[in-house]
Amino acid sequence: MKYIKLVFLLTSVLILSCSEDNDDNLRLDETEPNLVIKLKFDPDQERLGNLGQPVSVAPGNAAQSPHINRMSANYIEFAPTATTALGTGEIIFEGDETTTGGAQAINFQNAVFAGNNETFLTIPLSEISTGNYEWVRVSLAYQEGNIDLLINAQELTGTLASFVGYNSYITSFNLNESTITVNDNKAQGFWAFEASGFTTQGQAPEGATTVPNPIFDSSPIPSGSCVVTGEFENGLTITGNETQDITVTLSFSINNSFEWIDVNPDGKYEPGAGEQVVDMGLRGLIPIVN
């Protein structure tokens, strides 16, 4: 009798195990592939100007490549051709916006962030229209990173927060345990800085933020929008029959992307000497498909 009970118990366990395995396989089969958007910040990538052409640092200015800790975008669009007008391509992401501060603005408090080689967005491929895409447009909103500076002959490293979106509503934000309170809309080019507990903030000149767009002639973008445009090397094709994830890494050039007026011509950022920040815009975009 004990033998019969043991056989029955083992048989029940095997049946249950097989049932659980089948359930796992069923769930696996039902998992659909995704589009994964990652961010990358490359100090060695080519430095471009507004028209997508290589440029050097402006005479009388100096620049450095910051170490970007995190970034936020407010809009991502795939464009089939170089003549596809802004907003008429495949919009895959739109961030939260608000009129709390008056005019329409990016709602910074609800922004999505990602660091270097981190995932910014994951969406099912079934939600994206099938077709061939040659370009990607990314409306940048915010970037935060470390920069070197010179204060009272002492070299320090500080953290810079730069709001490069067209308009941002900000309640407050934190820089290295220092709280910056705003409670207002801020136009493109607003920045704040922290070093050794000292904080300051300012505003870059209107229109000074570089926004590379290699197809400006055929598909321009509004001034102040910070919509950076990049070309897929071999295009991006969505067939609708994908069985695996597609990863698109948005590689941004940070090659001397932090630029200032070099009052003391030593190539070092000295805010105490009245050296004003003039540009915090990224210097190019290369989308890479994996």
The total number of residues written for the chain in this structure: 290
- Assess whether 19 and 137 both reside in one domain: no
Residue 146 CB-density burial (10 A; 0-12 exposed, 13-18 middle, 19+ buried): middle
Q: How far is Cα 267 from Cα 168, in angstroms, rounded to an integer?
A: 31
- Tell me: do 25 and 45 sit in the same domain: no
CB neighbours of residue 17 within 10 Å: 10
Name 51's Cβ contacts closer than 8 Å, sequence gap at least 6. Answer: 212, 213, 214, 216
Average pLDDT of each block of 10 consecutive residues along the chain (290 residues)? 37 38 40 96 97 96 96 98 97 98 97 97 97 98 95 90 96 92 95 86 88 96 92 97 97 96 94 88 96
Q: Are 219 and 84 a contacting pair, CB within 8 Å?
A: yes
Same domain flag for 37 and 84 = yes
Q: Is 71 helix (H, G, I), strand (E, B) or coil?
A: strand
pLDDT at residue 30, rounded to an integer? 52
What's the number of CA atoms in the CB half-sphere (13 Å) around residue 144? 16
Q: Is residue 194 domain-shared with residue 63, that is, in the same domain?
A: yes
Residues 252 and 108 in one domain: yes
User: Pairing state of beta strands 198-203 and 119-124?
Assistant: unpaired
Identify the domain containing residue 202 by its residue range. Answer: 33-289
Q: What is the pLDDT of residue 74?
A: 97
| Structural contact between residues 287 and 248, judged by C-beta atoms closer than 8 angstroms | yes
Q: What is the pTM of this model?
A: 0.87
β-strand partners of 151: 154
For every residue of 141-168, which 3-state class applies, written as one string?
A: EEEEEEEEEEECCEEEEEEEEEECCCEE
DSSP at 278 = E
3-class state of residue 179 by DSSP: strand
Q: Report how far residue 246's alpha carbon sits from residue 113's, in angstroms, rounded to the nearest whole number.
A: 20
- Residues 216, 276, single domain; the answer is yes
Residue type, position 25, single letter: N
| Counted domains in the chain | 2
26 with 71, same domain?
no
Q: Are 18 and 143 in the same domain? A: no
Q: Are 230 and 136 in contact (CB under 8 A)?
A: yes
pLDDT digits over 83-120, tens only?
999 999 999 999 999 999 999 999 999 999 999 999 99
* Rounded distance between C-alpha atoms, residue 253 and residue 230, angstroms: 11
Average pLDDT, the chain: 89
Q: Which amino acid is at 174?
A: N
159 & 66 share domain: yes
- Whether residues 100 and 9 share a domain: the answer is no
Tell me, yes or no, whether 15 and 86 share the same domain: no
Domain shared by 129 and 95, yes or no: yes
Question: In which residue are the tokens 């990863």 written?
Answer: 247
CB 46 within 8 A of CB 285: no
What is the rounded CA–CA span in Å between residue 87 and residue 148?
38
Give the strands of the sheet with 97-98, arranged side by side: 97-98, 105-107, 167-175, 178-187
Please count the CA atoms within 13 angstroms of the CA of 189 that sit on its side-chain side.
Answer: 19
- Distance CA(229)–CA(231), nearest Å, equals 7
